[in-house]
């Protein structure tokens, strides 16, 4: 990471949505994120936000629960029900084009809901992110968003870190 990145304000961060899409498209990233979501109960949008902050010289606040409460309400009220509907329809939609079309619409709505959540998280970067302390590891700085993880999940976080650092620009 370029040392000058730490001197930039949170207002100069690149847009989160295109960055998240680019990271998600990298090898193994979508699988790692979905495994962390499904097995460890982590929120993909929060992870993407945390990674985005960290590779751009910032870190999520140490105790984000109150700061993230409105964003987490959005996730719980809109995104999670859409995800559950999409998953519930998967078996029924097999071989039924009309249900697969409905499932596709739900999937698009779920993605739009996630985009809105990332927009809200990006807005929080101004008030809910601090300069990244050099003495703390990447994983330690993500811990407020991830909690304690098992060895497999640590490997996935390491993969995400490497992929996000490999795509980070050399300066903001």
Number of neighbouring beta carbons within 10 Å of residue 122: 20
Residue 36 and residue 55: Cα distance in Å, rounded?
Answer: 19
Say what the pTM is.
Answer: 0.86
pLDDT tens, residue by residue, 112-142: 999 999 999 999 887 777 888 888 888 888 8
H/E stretch holding 130 reads strand 129-131
pLDDT at 86 over 60: yes
Residues with Cβ within 8 Å of residue 97, at least 6 apart in sequence: none
Q: What is the pLDDT of residues 8-39, one digit of tens each?
A: 455 678 899 999 999 999 999 999 999 999 99
Q: Residue 107 and residue 9: Cα distance in Å, rounded?
A: 35
Q: 11 exposed, middle or buried (CB, 10 Å; 0-12, 13-18, 19+)?
A: exposed
Return all residues near 35 (Cβ < 8 A) that are at least 6 apart.
153, 156
The end-to-end CA distance of the chain, in Å, is 11
Contact status, residue 58 vs residue 122, Cβ threshold 8 Å = no
**Res. 7: pLDDT tops 50:** no
| pLDDT of the residue at 172 | 43
pLDDT grade, residue 170 (50/70/90)? very low
Highest mean pLDDT among 61-75, 78-92, 122-136: 78-92
* 3-state secondary structure (DSSP) of residue 82: helix
């Amino acid at each position: 990471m370029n040392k000058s990145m730490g001197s930039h304000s949170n207002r100069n961060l690149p847009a989160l949505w295109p960055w998240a899409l680019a990271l998600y498209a990298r090898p193994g990233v979508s699988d790692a994120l979905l495994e962390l979501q499904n097995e460890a109960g982590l929120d993909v949008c929060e992870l993407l936000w945390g990674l985005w902050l960290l590779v751009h010289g910032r870190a999520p606040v140490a105790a984000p629960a109150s700061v993230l409460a409105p964003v987490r309400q959005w996730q719980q009220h809109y995104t999670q029900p859409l995800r559950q509907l999409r998953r519930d329809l998967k078996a029924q939609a097999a071989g039924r084009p009309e249900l697969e079309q409905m499932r596709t619409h739900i999937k698009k709505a779920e993605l739009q809901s996630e985009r809105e959540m990332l927009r809200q998280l990006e807005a929080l970067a101004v008030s809910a992110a601090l300069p990244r302390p050099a003495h703390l590891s990447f994983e330690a700085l993500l811990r407020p968003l991830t909690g304690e993880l098992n060895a497999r999940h640590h490997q996935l976080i390491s993969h995400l870190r490497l992929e996000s650092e490999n795509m980070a620009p050399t300066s903001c």
